[in-house]
Structure 1
Amino acid sequence: MDLKDLFLTPIYLILIYGMAYWIRPKVTTNVTRKYFIPALTLKLIGAITLGLIYQFYYGSLGNPAGDTFNYFWHSKQITQAFYDSPKIGLKLLFSHGEYDSDTYRYTIWMFWYKAPTEFLIAKIASVIGIFALNTYTVIALFFAFISFSGFWALYIAFLELYPKLTKEFAIAIFFLPSVFFWGSGLMKDSLTLGGLGWVFFGFYNIFIAKKQIFWSIVALIIAGYLILTVKIYILLSFIPPALFWIFNENNRRIKSHTIRLIAKPVFIGLGGIVSYFGALNITAGDEKYDIEKLGERSKITQVYLSEYVTSGSAYNIGELDGTIGGMLKLAPAAVNVTLFRPYLWEVRNPVMLLSALEAVFFMYLTVYLFYQTGILKSLKLIGNTPILLFCFIFSIIFAIGVGTSSGNFGTLVRYKIPLMPFYLSALYIMRSYAQTAKKQKKLIARAISHPA
């Protein structure tokens, strides 16, 4: 970041807030309106803070670049090509790592030119950079705005299911520090988080609410393609619980209790089969996420990340043997480390402290709700409530995947943020059921003690 950021950032902030105030009446109600600007503001703060942290904190530790500035470096080359020749700029935008004499003088500086995922992020950043005069902070702000759009769509979808939980869902989706910090800047996470919100919104409208079908399909296709290209494992975690949600909703609509009981295991079996073969087709041939190689890749990633990080943030939940079965053996420890660690005594730096405080909050709310409601009643509630089942299955699958492959808390805090809004939203939904049940018990007790 340089002086250009200081001069241009306020101007573009005014433009972004102008757009936000213009859009707000179209996407809010009298109840949700008060969360729109504060939630957007946190995302924008997160985008700016992320750049400052990478430049001044991590830079002081001997890592002056980091992914966010590497993306910016690549986007600058593409944007400069546009300024020099729009034709060459377009060639770069639609290139796939191949050699071209026209673009060579730009691609020679790009170490991610042949890395499809990273280069895609640079391409998106460069399109924004053309209008942002190659300014890091402005590009980061627009990444935050894209991420926020998906989160607001996610918020709207959850509220259609539980309209009274406006404050609770706002906390779960917008106000978790790790989520708005790591998921707002010039990073993959901003786009994939926004994409996940749109995927959920589109899926809900198409298959559950059955409304706004055309635009929901458009949103689902665009956001789904983005996630598929950038972080396919998010889709791998999303598809199984999403299919179960569809089958559970259809099962609930069967009027006959007997037929419903018979049909439920059939729906579950179909969901499992479709999920498995869907995952196989999506990942077939993928070097990193092919289902048949997933255990092996997780082992390689775990070893690399745990050995690469020397800051004292490494953790060990057991040794992976390179098989899916080996991953499943470590599943309980992986879920624990993802949702409830680092513990406070494991904190080694300010970033870990933030993650540890969130983990304490997650652990407290989880234990409190399951204790208050009872484990069996809680499990029954989850099994009978399709959205709860979706949220918990998604969170658990995701937690197993990132918990077994991360190897250190520094990367885990970033990898796990897609599950955090869903897991916390599920806990708040459970709490609302528990509070309703408690009120009903009080009313019954009062009626018995004071009969009419």
Structure 2
Amino acid sequence: MELKDLYITPIYLAIVYIIAYNLRSSVTNVYTKKYFIPALTVKIVGAIALGILYHTLYGGDTNNYYRQAGIVYQAFGESFAAGWELVTTSGDITPAISKYTDQLTWFGHGSNEYFVVRVAAVFALLSFNTYTVIAVLFAVITFSGMWVMYITFAKIRPQVYKELATAVFSALGFFWGSGLLKDSLCIGALGWLFYAFYRGAIERRNILRCTIVGAGAIGVILSMKVYILLAFMPPALLWVFNESTRNIRSTAVRWAAKPLFLGVGLLVAGYAFVKISAADARFDIENIGAQSKLTADYLQGVSKTEQGSGYNIGAQDGTIGGMAKLAPQALVVALFRPFLWEARNPTMLLSALEATYFLVLTLRILWRVGLVKTFIAISATPVLTLCFVFSLIFAISVGISSGNFGTLVRYKIPLMPFYLSGLYILQSITVTMANVPLRQRRNAGAAPQMARA
């Protein structure tokens, strides 16, 4: 960070908030309006705080992205054509950009990090290469995806719109998923993909626009973290097919059609898995176990330099069967660890407090709802199926491959809003199911009034 951050950033913040206040009425309703500006502020504060932390204590990825983007920004200053080629290139090195690519360590075919550099370079061009402004613009992009995720959840289950705001915008995701990092772009794109599925495939409204938005979101995630799509697309497609059976009025036909829709959903989901994994050989079904082992070994090696941040859930043999054996422990690690007594530094303590909240909330809801009712509600409610299947698949994959609490807190960001939202929706549905007969006995006219509200 430099002196210019102090006098340029406030100008851009003012512009962001002016635009936000003007857009608020068109993207909120009477219930969600009060959360719009605070949620945006949370993301911006998180982005700036992350930058301060990395610049003063950690170093690491966000600084490297900024330095690499600065090289592209320099190219724009010397030759706009060269700068634009660096942003739009498919990875080929031409004489016009060769002197810059020699300095870009992440440049090249198949570089997931270079996509972040491209985005950061465009923001650098718009902000005089000011780190804090670039981080704020990353936060704004991330916020847009998380806001449409929130309003989608709130539309599905408006009874818990307050709790859903907490689920989507709270926890450490506001910090690690807000600044100049891959995780910020990924969670923002995932929010837009979730919105596109619901709006286009389930509500069947603005189908062309949702197709374009969904394709763009897939492209963004595919450019950085393929495994997010591998975990999300199968349950998302099952969600669509399960929701489709709800439109069948006849109970008998609906139950007869459900296995058919489920079978088609599984086939389409499996096809999506194969096609997405084919885009990156590291995630091919035959290589995914070995890749997970390589990643875990590397991160466990890194953790040796970060005292107390590593964890070990067992040896991996590089096979899918070996991953399956570690799945229960990986699930616990991703959702509920580090435990409070495992915290070795302030950032680990924050992660431990968040994990403790996840554990307490999970146990409390399971106690109130009951295990049997929980499984019945999840199987009968398509959005809960999506939330929990995606969360469990994703938790297992990152829990196995991380081996380091420091990286795990960033890797698991995409699952947190879905898992927490699923818990709150589960609690709301089961409480409502338990209370409806009692309300009907006491006041037969209450239901129509609630429906109008």
* 1:101 partnered with 2:101: no
Rounded to whole Å, the distance in 2 between the matches of 1:191 and 1:126 is 14
Rounded to whole Å, the distance in 1 between the matches of 2:442 and 2:15 is 57
Normalised by the size of structure 1, how large is the TM-score?
0.94
The residue type equivalent to 1:397 in the other structure is I
Contact persistence 2:197–2:214 (CA under 8 A): yes
Q: CA shift at 1:319, angstroms? A: 1.5
* 1:81 partnered with 2:75: yes
The residue type equivalent to 2:36 in the other structure is F
- Cα distance per residue 1:365-424 (max 9 Å; x no partner): 111111222111110011000100110001011111101100111111000010000000
Q: CA shift at 1:119, angstroms? A: 1.1
The residue type equivalent to 2:13 in the other structure is L
- Cα distance per residue 1:59-111 (max 9 Å; x no partner): xxxxxx31101111111111111111111112212223333222222222111
Residue of structure 2 equivalent to 1:283: 277
Q: CA shift at 1:442, angstroms? A: 5.4
The residue type equivalent to 2:132 in the other structure is T
Rounded to whole Å, the distance in 2 between the matches of 1:263 and 1:334 is 36
* 1:170 partnered with 2:165: yes
Q: CA shift at 1:285, angstroms? A: 5.6
Q: CA shift at 1:225, angstroms? A: 0.6
Residue of structure 2 equivalent to 1:17: 17
Rounded to whole Å, the distance in 1 between the matches of 2:94 and 2:241 is 50
Residue of structure 2 equivalent to 1:268: 262
Rounded to whole Å, the distance in 2 between the matches of 1:434 and 1:280 is 36
Q: CA shift at 1:441, angstroms? A: 6.3
Contact persistence 1:78–1:89 (CA under 8 A): yes
> Please, which moves more after superposition, 246-255 or 224-233?
246-255
Q: CA shift at 1:214, angstroms? A: 2.3
Contact persistence 2:313–2:326 (CA under 8 A): yes
* 1:125 partnered with 2:120: yes
The residue type equivalent to 2:166 in the other structure is I
SS in 1 for 2:395: helix
Residue of structure 2 equivalent to 1:139: 134
Q: Give the one of 218, 225, 234 matched to 2:228.
A: 234
Contact persistence 2:231–2:393 (CA under 8 A): yes
Q: Give the one of 162, 181, 193 matched to 2:175.
A: 181
Rounded to whole Å, the distance in 1 between the matches of 2:324 and 2:270 is 16
Rounded to whole Å, the distance in 1 between the matches of 2:225 and 2:7 is 34
Contact persistence 1:298–1:322 (CA under 8 A): yes
Q: Provide the identity percentage.
A: 49
Residue of structure 1 equivalent to 2:332: 336
Q: CA shift at 1:438, angstroms? A: 4.7
Relative to structure 1, the CA distance from residue 356 to residue 442 in structure 2 (aligned partners, 3 Å threshold; closer, same or farther) is: farther
Rounded to whole Å, the distance in 2 between the matches of 1:256 and 1:362 is 39
Residue of structure 1 equivalent to 2:188: 194
Residue of structure 2 equivalent to 1:218: 212
The residue type equivalent to 2:147 in the other structure is W
Rounded to whole Å, the distance in 1 between the matches of 2:226 and 2:188 is 14
1:315-334 equivalences under 5 Å are 315-334=311-330
Identify unmatched segments of 5+ residues in structure 1: 59-64, 448-452
SS in 2 for 1:99: coil
Rounded to whole Å, the distance in 2 between the matches of 1:374 and 1:366 is 11
Contact persistence 1:82–1:88 (CA under 8 A): yes
Residue of structure 1 equivalent to 2:450: none
Rounded to whole Å, the distance in 2 between the matches of 1:47 and 1:285 is 31
Rounded to whole Å, the distance in 2 between the matches of 1:162 and 1:443 is 20
Rounded to whole Å, the distance in 2 between the matches of 1:223 and 1:397 is 20
* 1:419 partnered with 2:415: yes
SS in 1 for 2:183: helix
- Cα distance per residue 1:217-236 (max 9 Å; x no partner): 22111111101111111111
Contact persistence 1:96–1:116 (CA under 8 A): no
Relative to structure 1, the CA distance from residue 445 to residue 209 in structure 2 (aligned partners, 3 Å threshold; closer, same or farther) is: closer
Rounded to whole Å, the distance in 2 between the matches of 1:257 and 1:327 is 40
Q: Give the one of 391, 394, 397 matched to 2:390.
A: 394
Contact persistence 1:207–1:246 (CA under 8 A): yes
Rounded to whole Å, the distance in 2 between the matches of 1:314 and 1:445 is 56
Q: CA shift at 1:258, angstroms? A: 3.6
Relative to structure 1, the CA distance from residue 365 to residue 70 in structure 2 (aligned partners, 3 Å threshold; closer, same or farther) is: same
* 1:353 partnered with 2:345: no
Residue of structure 2 equivalent to 1:450: none
What is the total number of aligned residue pairs between the two structures?
440
Q: Give the one of 236, 240, 243 matched to 2:237.
A: 243
* 1:407 partnered with 2:403: yes
Rounded to whole Å, the distance in 2 between the matches of 1:445 and 1:164 is 22
* 1:312 partnered with 2:308: yes
Rounded to whole Å, the distance in 2 between the matches of 1:442 and 1:342 is 42
The residue type equivalent to 2:170 in the other structure is F
Contact persistence 1:79–1:130 (CA under 8 A): yes
Residue of structure 2 equivalent to 1:5: 5
Q: CA shift at 1:443, angstroms? A: 4.5
Q: CA shift at 1:357, angstroms? A: 1.1
Rounded to whole Å, the distance in 2 between the matches of 1:205 and 1:286 is 29
Rounded to whole Å, the distance in 2 between the matches of 1:210 and 1:97 is 38
Rounded to whole Å, the distance in 2 between the matches of 1:54 and 1:82 is 26
